Chain A
Amino acid sequence: MPDDRASSAPSRSIAPEPRPGKLTASDLVGMYRTMVLSRVLDERIWLLNRQGKAAIVASAQGHEAAQVALARATDPARDHYLIYYRELTTLLALGMTPLELLKGFLCRDGEPLSGGRQFPTHGAHPRVDLFSFSNVVGTQLPQAAGVALADKMRGEARATIVYFGDGATSQGDCHEAMNFAAIHRLPVVFFCENNRYAISVPLSKQMAIENVAARAAGYGMPGVTVDGTDVIAVFEAAQAAVARARGGKGPTLIEAMVERLFPHTSDDDHTRYRSADDIKQMRGKDPIAILETQLRRQRLLDDALHTEIWAEAKRIVNQATEQAEAAGFPDPGDFSKRLYAEG
Chain B
Amino acid sequence: MPVMTVIEAVREAMREEMRRDSRVFIMGEDIGARGGVFLATDGFLQEFGEQRVIDTPLAESSIAGIAIGAAVNGMRPIAEIEFADFVWPAMNQIVGVASRIRYGTNGTKFAPMVVRMPYGGGVRGGLYHSQTIDVVFAHQPGLIVIAPSTPYDAKGLLKAAIRCDDPVVFLEHKRTYRLVKGDVPAEDYVLPIGRADVKRQGADLTAVTYGLMVHYCLEAARKLEAEGIEVEVVDLRTLAPLDRETFLESVRKTSKAIVVHEDYHTYGVGAEIAATIAQDAFHDLDAPVVRLTGPDVPAMPFAPTLEAEFMLSPEKIASAMRELAAY
Contacts and interface: CB of A to CB of B under 8 A. Distances in A.
Most buried by A among B65, B92, B165: B65
Contacts of B279: none
Interface string A170-185: 0011001101100100
Most buried by B among A129, A183, A340: A340
Contacts of A113: 105
B107 A338 contact: yes
B66 A180 contact: yes
Interface string B52-88: 1000110101101111111111110100000000000
B70 A150 contact: yes
A233 B65 CA distance: 31
Interface in A181-198: 183
A142 B62 contact: yes
B57 A183 contact: yes
Nearest to A145: B66
Interface stretch (B108-116, B195-203, B292-300): B108-116
Contact of A117 (B59, B71, B106, B109): B106
Interface string B91-111: 011001100111111111111
Nearest to B66: A146
Nearest to A123: B105
Given A146-B65, A173-B61, A123 B97 contact: no
Nearest to A162: B69
Contact of A340 (B67, B70, B166): B166
Nearest to B25: A153
Given A8-B110, A146-B67, A117 B73 contact: no
Interface in A299-343: 337-341
A180 B104 contact: no
B69 A146 contact: yes
B65 A142 contact: yes
A81 B110 CA distance: 16
Interface in A67-85: 80, 82
A336 B22 CA distance: 33
B106 A114 contact: yes
B72 A9 contact: yes
A123 B106 contact: yes
Q: In terms of DSSP, what is the predominant structure of the interface of chain A?
A: mixed
B67 A134 contact: no
A186 to B, nearest CB: 9
Contacts of A173: 61-62, 65, 92-93
B75 A177 contact: no
A122 interface: yes
Contacts of B69: 82, 142-150
Contacts of B66: 142-143, 145-146, 149, 177, 180
Interface residues of B, number: 49
B268 interface: no
A339 B104 contact: no
Interface string B134-159: 00000001101000000000000000
Contacts of A114: 104-106
A209 interface: no
A118 interface: yes
Interface string B1-39: 000000000000000000011110100000000000000
B75 A145 contact: no
Contact of A139 (B67, B75, B97, B109): B97
A126 interface: yes
A117 B103 contact: yes
Given A114-B105, A117-B106, A341-B110, A8 B72 contact: yes
A115 interface: yes
A136 B100 CA distance: 13
Given A136-B96, A338-B107, A143 B74 contact: no
Given A9-B73, A133-B100, A147-B70, A139 B65 contact: yes
Contact of A133 (B23, B25, B61, B97): B97
B309 to A, nearest CB: 36
Given A7-B74, A173-B92, 6 more contacts: A2-B20, A145-B65, A150-B73, A176-B57, A340-B166, A341-B110
Interface of B: 20-23, 25, 51-52, 56-57, 59, 61-62, 64-75, 77, 89, 92-93, 96-97, 100-112, 141-142, 144, 164-166
14 contacts: A115-B106, A136-B92, A139-B96, A139-B97, A143-B66, A143-B68, A143-B93, A145-B62, A146-B70, A146-B77, A147-B70, A147-B73, A176-B62, A183-B57
The 9 A-B residue pairs whose C-beta atoms are closest, nearest first, are A146-B69, A142-B65, A115-B106, A338-B107, A176-B62, A146-B66, A341-B165, A143-B69, A150-B73
